[in-house]
Amino acid sequence: MDCDRCGDDAVMHAAYSGAHLCADHFTRSVEKRVRRRIREDSLLSKDATPEEPETWVIGLSGGKDSVVLTEILYETFGKDPRVELVALSIHEGIEGYRDESLAASEELTDRLEMAHKVVGYEEEFGVKMDEVVEEDPENMAPCAYCGVFRRDLLESYAEELGADKLLTGHNLDDEAQTALMNFLEGDVRQVAKHFDASLGGFDEREESDSFVPRAKPLRDVPEKEVALYAHLADLPAHITECPHASEAYRGEIQELLLKLEENHPGTRHSIMSGYEELASLAAAAYDSSEGGELKECVECGSTTSGEVCRKCRLLTSMEAI
Ligand code: SF4
């Protein structure tokens, strides 16, 4: 099959749009979608200047998604004096897994000459993820602990690095899976939180000192296309799966979505467009009914809805063993 735009050999066919694209046009199409998302989300504040630039902290795991995000952000803003890019990597303490992906992250940030901060569960919490899995004090899946610890470190270090925005590499498949999981679980509160984590429109938002605002500039790009971009650009992405990966339910949803997408191209896009509208309505409803009451955790000072945050409660249950 030939490229629709130049007649060269096509490297991909997107059933949801009908496009056949060669390597060059495919690469440009991914970059265009990411830049459009950044623009539509008003990610770069109008107040950013060369004298007072914005700091964007990128969550860089070394997997294909965050590596592609870092590369495109660098290509777009690397020479823009209104933006400072800083990479932040989390070392969970997983034998034979994270060291390799951190090496990929370092290779990338060294080449781009980008500031790169690495923080680990062991140094920060006194425990490695491998030990958490072995002890399992709450009888939960590994990812349930790991997600709480990672969120805590991303948020606290983004703040320490002076971040105006925290950017993560979630792609279209990740987002559509999460949307469907929340919907099937009937978790409307989680749907409302998605609004904060995923939607931009930063110019429209009220200032909040509770969290560094988050953005997901890859969220319009399907996972397979992110992988193909990483391959074509020869990026140093680490692709081995974590040995503790345990989200069986997510795996089921992933299979279901791939099947639906195959039979009904465009399903992921339509899920997300409806879900984002729903999320914004749910967020507004919870805000007005609860007044957004957030407190400081009495143990660590991070923002929480209760007295003690979830991370501190998990650490306490680890200590009790
Ligand atoms: Fe952590 Fe689960 Fe990711 Fe492994 S797969 S790094 S345990 S969240």
Chain segment 25-51, per-residue pLDDT in tens: 999 999 999 999 999 999 999 999 999
- The DSSP output letter for 303 is E
Q: Which of 200, 180, 159, 317 is nearest to 259 (CA)?
A: 180
Using CB atoms within 10 A of its CB, is residue 21 exposed (0-12), middle (13-18) or buried (19+)?
buried
Chain segment 87-99, per-residue pLDDT in tens: 999 999 999 888 8
134 Cα to the center of ligand 1, angstroms = 14
Question: Residue 247 pLDDT more than 80?
Answer: no
19 Cα to the center of ligand 1, angstroms = 34
Q: How confident is the model at residue 158, as a pLDDT?
A: 96
Question: Residue 117 pLDDT more than 80?
Answer: yes
Q: How confident is the model at residue 196, as a pLDDT?
A: 61
Q: How confident is the model at residue 98, as a pLDDT?
A: 87
245 Cα to the center of ligand 1, angstroms = 5
52 Cα to the center of ligand 1, angstroms = 36
Q: For the chain, give the mean pLDDT.
A: 91
Question: Residue 86 pLDDT more than 70?
Answer: yes
In testing the pocket of ligand 1, which one of 97, 168, 242 has its CB within 8 Å of the most ligand atoms?
242
The arithmetic mean of pLDDT across residues 83-111, rounded, is 94
Q: Which of 272, 309, 294 is nearest to 191 (CA)?
A: 272
Q: Which of 170, 191, 173 is nearest to 259 (CA)?
A: 173
Q: How confident is the model at residue 321, as a pLDDT?
A: 64
Q: How far apart are CA 129 and CA 315, in angstroms?
A: 12
Q: Residue 202 — very low, low, confident or very high, per pLDDT cuts 50/70/90?
A: low
Least confident of 15-19, 158-162, 288-292: 288-292
In testing the pocket of ligand 1, which one of 131, 143, 153, 314 has its CB within 8 Å of the most ligand atoms?
143
The owner of tokens 């920060």 is 124
303 Cα to the center of ligand 1, angstroms = 23
Q: How confident is the model at residue 206, as a pLDDT?
A: 47
Which residues line ligand 1 at a C-beta cut-off of 6 Å?
Answer: 92, 129, 142-143, 146-147, 242, 244-245
In testing the pocket of ligand 1, which one of 105, 121, 146 has its CB within 8 Å of the most ligand atoms?
146
Q: How far apart are CA 241 and CA 92, in angstroms?
A: 14
The arithmetic mean of pLDDT across residues 172-198, rounded, is 86
How would you classify the pairing of strands 54-59 and 295-296? unpaired
CB atoms within 10 A of CB 97: 19
Q: How confident is the model at residue 199, as a pLDDT?
A: 46
Q: How confident is the model at residue 245, as a pLDDT?
A: 86
Question: Residue 208 pLDDT more than 60?
Answer: no
Q: Residue 204 — very low, low, confident or very high, per pLDDT cuts 50/70/90?
A: very low
- Which pTM value belongs to this model? 0.92
- Under a CB-based contact definition with an 8 Å cutoff, are residues 263 and 256 in contact? no
Q: Which domains are delineated in the chain?
A: 37-290 (3.40.50.620)
Q: How confident is the model at residue 167, as a pLDDT?
A: 97
User: Cα angle vertex 55, ends 67, 162, to 5°?
Assistant: 115
80 Cα to the center of ligand 1, angstroms = 34
Task: Give the closest residue (by CA) to ligand 1 atom 6.
Answer: 242
Q: How confident is the model at residue 304, as a pLDDT?
A: 84
Q: Please say whether the dihedral angle defined by the alpha carbons of residues 162, 165, 168 and 169, taken in this order, is positive or negative.
A: negative
- Which of 99-103, 149-153, 239-243: highest mean pLDDT? 149-153
In testing the pocket of ligand 1, which one of 140, 244, 311 has its CB within 8 Å of the most ligand atoms?
244
Q: How confident is the model at residue 291, as a pLDDT?
A: 53
